[in-house]
Amino acid sequence: MKRLLALIATGATALGLTVLSNPPAAAAVGCRVDYTVTSQWQGGFQGAVKITNLGEPVSGWTLKFTLPDAGQKVVQGWNATWAQSGATVTATPVDWNRALDTGASTDLGFVGSFTGANPKPTAFTLNGVACTGSVVEPPPGGGEPTPGPGTGTPVDVNGQLRVCGVKLCNQYNRPVQLRGMSTHGIQWFSKCYNAASVDALAKDWKSDLLRIAMYVQESGYETDPAGFTSRVNSLVDMAGARGMYAMIDFHTLTPGDPNYNLDRAKTFFASVAARNAAKKHVIYEIANEPNGVSWAAIKNYAEQVIPVIRAADPDAVIIVGTRGWSSLGVSDGSNESEIVNNPVNATNIMYAFHFYAASHKDNYRATVSRAASQLPLFVTEFGTVSATGGGTLDRASTTAWLDLLDQLKISYANWTYSDAPESSAALRPGTCDGTDYSSSGVLTESGALIKSRISTTDTFPTG
């Protein structure tokens, strides 16, 4: 185990700030900028900036704008390199959003301070061109129709998932992104997972996914294989009854070589795959965080466990852990190339990536951005704090991560939907003794931000 920033959807008009209004319909020129204040507090605010390139494709860009009040300052930002000179703010790209094709957009954000008024920025330019254009819709009957979002629960809409190319796709062969939560170790926090809490996760949080973290050691599966298998199956059923996907996480951590648990893994997955094979909502994660072990050894483990699952459940998506605590090897000084050059010999699989926002920043994001064009990735665990599970929430890094995952359509599960006494937990200590799992009074700072992020409307494509 390693021990989460949502753009808070508050009305900008109440703050005296609005999204820039669209000009009258006209030929698209230059660029368009949509600016929104997503949160404001005494002396500070958070701004979201969406750039849409309406001109020729660019391989690099510089955004500039003016902060009209002398008391306004950019304190920190994400998804760009930010600088301020007097009233002029400059943002330049990071590796993954450097190129913008015609019609392409990228989302930036910053935390600012102010001492007087807080008027909206003015004079937005992109590479020196004023951002005054509007996005023009295609003429009726022209072009390829865009599939509309489906209605119903995540499982109702998407059905059986599969890997298509480097994306997770639904029953319509359309790429989708699942956003959800991970349990903590069910041997320690079983009281957090009951009808009330899973109801809240599905209905109030609008989570697409429940990741079920079943530790193998640390008072977990090895102490009571039948009992833990039964607990996992029960949570699979609870998630399915509420229309959420269930990820069965064989949570290996110590020792870090998954081959230590190879026989246990075969026994466990043979059982849960046979029992859940007819269910469309089950995903298998076969090794949580391999560490202190080579990619070759992880690959060997995967190529022995995957056939066991496939023998019973030939269609489900299977996720393989990666080197360096599922960092694609980055935490071991490597990168995704070892997997690209020597992939697991199996189909319909994805590779796990984990991050903790306060510890894992630009070099990790650059790796994910590169790897996502070559490997199907699933962020099966992430936190808003440090890799220890403690410390303060890193708002800027978390937002940069989640914006990147949204852009790349990479699914994720946050650590953790629990009331553990650590800052990565979404619920305040003692919450699981009651029945309220959603109101502001029971959420930690991390929980409030993640709930705000994942509870926004899904746009699962159909047709």
Q: Are 355 and 379 in contact (CB under 8 A)?
A: yes
| CB-count exposure of residue 57 (10 Å: 0-12, 13-18, 19+) | exposed
Return the amino acid letter for 178: L
Q: Do 428 and 434 meet the contact criterion of CB atoms below 8 Å apart?
A: no
**Gap between the Cα atoms of 96 and 404, Å rounded:** 8
Helices (H), 313-373: 323-326, 337-341, 362-371
- Of the candidates 200, 201, 187, 188, the one whose C-alpha atom is nearest the C-alpha of residue 245 is 201
Q: Is 445 a catalytic residue?
A: no
The radius of gyration of the chain from alpha carbons, rounded to an integer in Å, stands at 23
Catalytic (active site) residue 289? yes
- The Cα–Cα gap between 418 and 186 comes to 10
The one catalytic residue in 285, 289, 338, 422 is 289
Which SS3 state, helix, strand or coil, does residue 401 take?
A: helix
327 close to 334: Cβ distance less than 8 angstroms: no
∠ at Cα 10 (4, 12), nearest 5°?
A: 130
Of the residues 285, 336, 338, 381, only one is catalytic, namely: 381
Long-range contacts of 333-342 (CB under 8 A, 24+ apart): 334/295, 335/367, 335/370, 335/371, 336/367, 336/370, 336/371, 336/374, 336/375, 338/295, 339/295, 339/371, 339/375, 340/371, 340/374, 340/375, 342/295, 342/296, 342/299
- Annotated catalytic sites, by residue? 289, 381
